[in-house]
Amino acid sequence: MIFAVAPAAIGLSGWPAALSYALAGIHLLMTLLTDFPAGVIKVIPIVLHQWVERIVGPLLIILAFVAMNETYARAFFVAMGVIIFAVERLTAYRSTTD
Is 96 within a domain? no
Domain encompassing residue 77 = 2-90
- What pLDDT digit, counting tens, does each position of 33-83 carry? 999 888 999 999 999 999 999 999 999 999 999 988 888 999 999 999 999
Is 98 within a domain? no
Specify the pLDDT at position 18.
96
Specify the pLDDT at position 96.
65
Is 48 within a domain? yes
Is 97 within a domain? no
Name the residue with higher pLDDT: 96 or 53: 53
- How many structural domains comprise the chain? 1
Is 58 within a domain? yes
10-38 mean pLDDT:
94
- What pLDDT digit, counting tens, does each position of 76-95 carry? 999 999 999 999 999 887 76
**Cα separations (Å) of 73 from 12, 22, 61, 66?**
6, 15, 11, 12
2-20 mean pLDDT:
95
Is 36 within a domain? yes
Is 30 within a domain? yes
Is 20 within a domain? yes
